[in-house]
Amino acid sequence: MVQDARGEENVGHTMKDHMNLVNRMKMNSIEGRLCNVYWRDSMMKEDYRIYGDVMVFDTTYRTNKYKLICAPFIGIKNHWNNAIFGCAFLSNEKVESFQWLFEVFKKSMGGKCPITLFTDQDQAIATAIEKFFQQTRHSLCLWQLQQNAVSRFAQLKSDNSFKVVFKKCLSGCPNENEFESCWKSMISKYNLEDHSWFCRLYGLREKWCTALGKDFFSAGILSSQRSKSTNHAIGFNAKKSTSLTEFYGIFKATIKHWRSKEQNNEFQCSKSVPKSVLPMTGMLKHASEVHTLTLFREFESEFLKSISTCSNIVLVEDNMMVYDVSSHDANACTHRVVFDCLRNMITCSCKKFEECGFLCYHCLRVLRINFVITRILYSKNMDQVCQI
């Protein structure tokens, strides 16, 4: 062009202007052709078959050259590490894009749906979930709700007392009655009666209040922070100028690292025997045989708590015994445990087993005082009782 115009001053723009225009044309060409893309490999499908009961879906990560939305499907493995079941790039956050993605994901996984799906508060995602994951429990990210609550109302940003109360509403109430009382007190104290965001949030309380969601298996996840940490790991070397092919290389390297770490954890479990400050007998011994090292520590913690709790029997009827169990902590709640000694069935009002998949210290306390040291059959289904 400089030659044809007989000098750069006659072209009308600089080399930098020219390159910027060419770059925009390339981006427009890509964005006009590539709408959505999803991929997974065979190992991701196998991981989903085993660990896909609880899944996190996040769309907040956009570090790539074409500003496409990165949307990974994340889960948790038995060593309490992240697992990835698939990933997508979306050109927009419209209902149609999420419906396409969920339909393709479900088809690629043989039709299996998760029990619980954590997402951000997005109506388009919610609409797509209602269509393709009808039996799935849709839960909202508590971390994001906390951030939105203070960012939408400037006067609350520096009010630490509000943050404490709001956090208690989200995940600190043991039952529905206490949640309702805590919520009403917060709304009244901070004059939030007329704020539409809090009104809408209350209408969605079934999706985020932990006091109302204990009947659904969620592996103890309270937010999509696992997905956010996954995005951080994937995007460690990614920049706004990263192309899709470069991003895919980073993605594959990250997955390779995760799988290598998992293999190492499996090796450590196969060659190591858990140790405890308590004698490795009875339930502790069996737990060490069926759990990974990480999950055994979780069980051991509950077992130790059961030693320092107190229990009172409140009812004995035929083969049924009912206990009230509480810890010595002044702020701790008392929970009701029902033990059927004939059928060897136990359940607790805290519903830790239904929510997380292993027994709470309230149940362990009752089992110990009844000299139940036989094997415990762990399950991740939604039964209301645990068979021992």
Q: What is the mean pLDDT of residues 166-195?
A: 90
Sign of CA dihedral 96, 83, 80, 353: positive
Instruction: With respect to residue 308, please indicate whether it lies within any of the assigned structural domains.
Output: yes
H/E element, 293: helix 293-307
Q: What is the mean pLDDT of residues 82-109?
A: 93
Same domain, 134 and 182: no
pLDDT range class, residue 320, cuts 50, 70, 90: very high
Instruction: With respect to residue 228, please indicate whether it lies within any of the assigned structural domains.
Output: no
Judge whether residue 307 has pLDDT over 80.
yes
Instruction: With respect to residue 61, please indicate whether it lies within any of the assigned structural domains.
Output: yes
Instruction: With respect to residue 8, please indicate whether it lies within any of the assigned structural domains.
Output: no
Same domain, 262 and 362: no
Last residue of a domain, one of 223, 242, 264: 223
Number of structural domains (the chain) is 3
Q: Which is higher by pLDDT, 148 or 33?
A: 148
Determine the pLDDT at residue 23: 74
Same domain, 255 and 121: yes
Q: What percent of the chain has pLDDT over 90?
A: 35
Instruction: With respect to residue 89, please indicate whether it lies within any of the assigned structural domains.
Output: yes
Instruction: With respect to residue 25, please indicate whether it lies within any of the assigned structural domains.
Output: no
Q: What is the mean pLDDT of residues 179-197?
A: 91
Same domain, 40 and 134: yes
Which residues of the chain form beta strands (DSSP E)?
36-39, 54-57, 69-76, 82-90, 116-119, 137-140, 310-317, 320-326, 335-340, 345-348, 386-387
Tens-digit pLDDT profile for residues 149-172: 777 666 777 788 888 899 899 888
Instruction: With respect to residue 16, please indicate whether it lies within any of the assigned structural domains.
Output: no
pLDDT range class, residue 24, cuts 50, 70, 90: confident
Judge whether residue 383 has pLDDT over 60.
no
Instruction: With respect to residue 20, please indicate whether it lies within any of the assigned structural domains.
Output: no
pLDDT range class, residue 47, cuts 50, 70, 90: very high
- Whole-angstrom Cα distance, residue 379 to residue 290? 12
Judge whether residue 19 has pLDDT over 70.
yes
Same domain, 179 and 121: no
**Which of 6-10, 71-75, 124-128, 172-176 is predicted least confidently?**
6-10
pLDDT range class, residue 230, cuts 50, 70, 90: low
Same domain, 298 and 350: yes
CA atoms lying within 13 Å on the CB side of residue 40: 24
Same domain, 94 and 213: no
Judge whether residue 380 has pLDDT over 60.
no
Same domain, 258 and 187: no
Same domain, 59 and 106: yes
Same domain, 298 and 379: yes
Last residue of a domain, one of 187, 205, 223: 223
Can you give the CATH number for the domain in which 98 is found? 3.30.420
CB-based burial label for 310 (10 Å; 0-12, 13-18, 19+): exposed
- Full residue range of the structural domain in which residue 216 is found: 142-223
Same domain, 122 and 188: no
Same domain, 109 and 86: yes
